[in-house]
Amino acid sequence: MSSRDIQNFETGRIGALRDERVYIQKKTFTKWANAFLEKARLEIHDLFKDLADGKILMKLLEIISGENLGKPNKGILRVQKAENINRCLTFLRTKVYFENIGAEDIMDGNPRLILGLIWTIILRFQIQEIEIEVDEDDESSEKRSAKDALLLWCQRKTAGYPGVDIKNFTSSWRNGLGFNALIHAHRPDLIAYEHLDPADHIGNLNNAFNVADDKLGIHKILDAEDVDVPKPDEKIIVTYVASYYHYFAKMKSEMTGGKRIAKIVGSMLELEKMVDDYESLTTVLLEWIKAKIVTLNDRNFPNSLEGIQKELISFKEYRTVEKPPKLREKGNIEATFFNIQARLKANGQKLYNPPEGFLIHDIESAWMRLEKSEHIRETSLRDELIRQERLEQLAQRFRRKAEIRESWLMDMMQILDEKMVCNNAAQAEAAIKKHEAISAEILARKDRYKALNTLAVELVQGNYHQKAAVQKKDDYIRLKWQELLDKLEQRKLTLAGFNNLMAMFREIETIQEELKEVENKVKLEDCGKHLLAVEEYLQQHSLQESQLHSLAKRVRNLNRRSKSYADPNHPEMKVLDQRLDTLNSELEKVNNLSTKRKKNLEVAKAYFQFLQDSEEEERWVLEKIGIVKQTDIGKDLNAACVLLKRHEQVEAEMAGRFPVCEQVCGKGQDLVNTGHSARSEIGSRIKSLMDKWKQLQELAATRRTKLEDGIEAHQYYADANEAESWMKEKMPLVTSDDYGKDEGSAQTLLSRHNRLEGEIKTFGSEIKRLDELAQLMTKAASEHNISLEKFKPAENGQKSDDEMYEDEVVERPHEIDVEEIHEKEVLQDYVETRKIPQVKAAYTYRGQGMTIEKGEVIIELFSLALFALL
């Protein structure tokens, strides 16, 4: 290997080591900073980027120094970031000297300068403050500070621990025993040092780091892998060991302070012993006053007169027996307090200041509150005594009145339970007068029972101690009072029923007479000779039914009244029941006659209606048969299309009319099924009508077939003429003797002839289609006995259809005069519509640059011209 290669290797190795050291320092310094920033709920993720705005760096300096650097700006713009960082650097320059670093270095993320800045902060605020005396027994001996002091402290704390030899902040900590020895020296309960294995470096390091993090709160800013190397980074170990020093130094200062406080507490306990009697007596008295105030403020008094009287006796005993000793105890406490103050003054000591709430003034205030509560309780007891005495008087009054009301109720109930005798009108009138006297007597006492209820409500609302018994008694009396009123009302209804018996008898006679009149009318058997007569009879019968319904309602009312107003055991009720039974029988009889009469009339109406409807339907069918029998199928395509359109309208009318005919026949069949006397005539009419309908449908189908065949034939001849015209047009081209005068013209004629051959070849499919269509039409014409020559258009010099077939009889569309009976003459207008001749494609055609679908209508120019001449 050449010297140049060796130099490159060494340079690369040095660079790698430098990068590794930067990475370890960055990781450790980041954890160290986050240990402080977590107090402000901040965190650094990338040390070289997160300090760029200066806000986190400012917060870190405030936390670690305890000083306020002011409020940072937003740190969005570069100038704002520079301002925040410069404030931090200015603050640091007041604490420590450094140079060659500016705000731009931090904003741009310069690793070397940022790590140097953090290390400077650690040295200033974590390590520089450490100060250790070389000789602990001699206070005037030499002192070491900063890193030297920290190393001396580590050596003293780990002295005597096997496997630990602290000489520096690099290799001396590799095996991890040094960290464990520091923890064990201060907290032996956390580390089992004798069980540690000196060879297990990683285990020892992790054990110390985890115990420090979990038990002592020292953040784990190092990783065991970063320490267990031949030469660990000195800065990261110094940073971490400094955390141990600060934690244990703080713990030592707290222990020293505790000893000093113990001495002060001892002197205070001696002083407290002198005033213990005062405070204990004061405490007992104040607690008694507090408890007694709670008792005096209690307003849960017994809910009875006797209970309130006992409370007053107990209150009197408190005033005469319990309170005087406490008053003397209060005087003794005051005397004790003045004696303590006198002794302290005599000894030249500070006067005794009792705790808050134990002053003489506090005792006086508590005693005044006690007397105030005492006065209020006395007033409340006297008011409650007055209330209970009043409730007791109301209760006695309620009991007295309740006994009187209850006795009167029992007497009146016995009177109303007496049986009434109303065998005749005189007895009924006497019973009514007696009832009116009893009713006046009962209703006059309504206010008295209301006043009794008011007394009960007042006692219940006043929380009378026997309010449940009062409420029960009041409910019982009110129930009996309501029962008495119900019996009174029932007696009144019963007497009213007896009084209405005679009126009911008179009304029964009136209804029977009206039923006779209705019966004579519904007995008629004549149902009329025609439809108008039947409808008139039905109108008259509707009036009779209304009268009959009114009579039935009156009879039902009588039946209901007979059960509601009268005593079932009364002698007159038997006669009334017999009369009502007779009346109900007569009503049922007339109802049956009315129903039978209405049914006969409805059957007659249905019969005459059927006759009228069937005649009308038959006339309509005959009219349409005359129309579909026509044989004219049109002299050209346009005429044939018009005739087909008219025929479709006729078919549409038939489709809409046939359900009406079926409905008429259905009604007639219903009459036949029910056994009508004229069922043979009805059946023959139905058969005749349906036969004519069948004939109409067959004729209509035949005519549609002929019209469609005619349209197809006319279309064929139009296509054939067009094909013939095309061939005549191309014939001069194929028979020409012109072969060109030179090569160019001959080449042109040859190209034109090739195109013509292509057109002829393409047109061959059209000729083939026409030939197939002609064969189909010939076959169809032979099946329907139609001559195809009649569809052929007339040529020049030929006779027209009328001339060629002048001997043939052809039916043309014409009007048929049918005699119909109308109330008045109606004029009808007929509108004739002439359409432009059209050609309808019978088959799909594709050629000569166009496409025609089957059934598509084509308007041709020569057809338009022909239409213009016509």
Closest CA relative to residue 774, chosen from 792, 759, 760, 762? 792
List beta partners, residue 865.
none
Q: What is the reported pLDDT for 802?
A: 40
Local confidence band at 282 (pLDDT 50, 70, 90 cut-offs): confident
Determine the Cα–Cα distance for residues 466 and 561; give it in Å rounded to an integer. 50
**CB environment 780-815: b (16+ within 10 A), e (fewer):** bbeeeebebeebbeeeeeeeebeeeeeeeeeeeeee
Name the 3-class secondary structure at 320: helix
| DSSP E strand boundaries for 567-691 | none
Q: How many residues would you count in the chain?
A: 870
Q: Which two tokens stand for residue 500?
A: 């209405």
Residue 143, beta-bridge partner list: 133
pLDDT band at 75 (very low <50, low <70, confident <90, very high): confident
Alpha carbons 71 and 55: distance in angstroms, whole number: 9
The rounded distance, in Å, linking the Cα atoms of 767 and 846 is: 13
d(CA 727, CA 571): 121
pLDDT at 799 over 80: no
Supply the DSSP string of 6-66, one letter for each residue. HHHHHHHHHHHHHHHHHHHHHHHHHHHHHHHHGGGT---S-HHHHTTTSHHHHHHHHHHH-
What integer pLDDT is reported at residue 180 of this predicted model? 92
Task: Give yes or no for residue 864 having a pLDDT over 50.
Answer: no
Across residues 96-104, what is the average pLDDT?
Answer: 82
What pLDDT does residue 263 have?
47
* Residue 515: alpha-carbon gap to chain centroid: 65
User: How many Å from the N-terminal Cα to the C-terminal Cα in the chain?
Assistant: 120
Q: What is the rounded distance in angstroms from the CA atom of residue 299 to the CA atom of residue 282?
A: 28
Average pLDDT, the chain: 77
User: Mean pLDDT highest for which of 68-77, 418-427, 834-843, 857-866?
Assistant: 68-77
Predicted confidence band of residue 39 (pLDDT cuts 50, 70, 90) = confident
Sequence-ordered list of residues with C-beta below 8 angstroms from that of 799, at least 6 positions apart, any chain: none
CA distance 435 to 439: 6
- Quote the DSSP letter at residue 309: H
CA atoms of 584 and 663, how far apart (whole Å): 42
Ranked by mean pLDDT, which of 329-343, 685-699, 856-870 comes out on top?
685-699
Name which of 470, 469, 443 is nearest 456 in CA terms: 470
User: What is the reported pTM?
Assistant: 0.34
| Tokens of residue 452, six digits | 């009794």
What pLDDT does 813 receive?
41
Structural contact between residues 106 and 81, judged by C-beta atoms closer than 8 angstroms: no
How far apart, in whole angstroms, are the C-alpha atoms of residue 216 and residue 218?
Answer: 6
Q: How far apart are CA 203 and CA 582, in angstroms?
A: 120
Cα gap 484→85, rounded to integer Å: 102
Residue at token pair 């007596």: 281
Beta strands in 721-855, from DSSP E residues, in sequence order: 839-840, 845-847, 850-852
Of 188-197, 512-521, 565-574, the poorest mean pLDDT is in 565-574
Kindly indicate the confidence band of residue 709, based on its pLDDT and cuts at 50, 70 and 90. Answer: confident
What is the tens place of the pLDDT at every residue in 585-618?
887 877 887 777 777 777 777 777 777 778 888 8
The single residue listed with the structure tokens 């104040």 is: 286
The 3-state DSSP class for residue 144 equals strand
Lowest mean pLDDT among 168-177, 379-388, 804-813: 804-813
Contacts of residue 501, defined as CB under 8 A and 6 or more positions apart, other chains included, come to 565, 566, 572, 576
Residue 319 has pLDDT above 60, yes or no: yes
- 207 vs 574, more confident: 207
Tokens of 523: 């007995």
Alpha-carbon span 428 to 414, nearest angstrom: 20
What pLDDT score was predicted for residue 822?
A: 45
Ranked by mean pLDDT, which of 548-557, 568-577, 684-693 comes out on top? Answer: 684-693
pLDDT of residue 820: 47
Mean pLDDT within 239-254:
82
pLDDT at 207: 92
Is residue 776 scored above 80 in pLDDT? no
**Residue with the larger pLDDT of the pair 700 and 435:** 700
Give the amino acid at 191: I
Share of the chain above pLDDT 90, in %: 1
Q: Rounded to an integer, what distance in angstroms lies between the CA atom of residue 365 and that of residue 348?
A: 31
Cα dist. 94→90, 113, 568 in Å?
7, 19, 122
DSSP string, 253-294: HHHHHHHHHHHHHHHHHHHHHHHHHHHHHHHHHHHHHHHHHH
Is residue 601 a contact partner of residue 527, using CB atoms and an 8 Å limit? yes
If pLDDT is split at 50, 70 and 90, which confidence band does 672 have? confident
The percentage of residues in the chain with a pLDDT greater than 70, rounded to a whole number, is 79
Query: Which of 20-29, 191-200, 208-217, 703-712 bottoms out in mean pLDDT, i.e. has the lowest?
Result: 703-712
Q: Counting beta carbons within 10 angstroms of the beta carbon of residue 235, is it exposed (0 to 12), middle (13 to 18) or buried (19 or more)?
A: buried
The DSSP call for residue 417 is T
pLDDT at 370 over 80: yes
Angle at 182 (CA atoms; ends 179, 187), nearest 5 degrees: 120
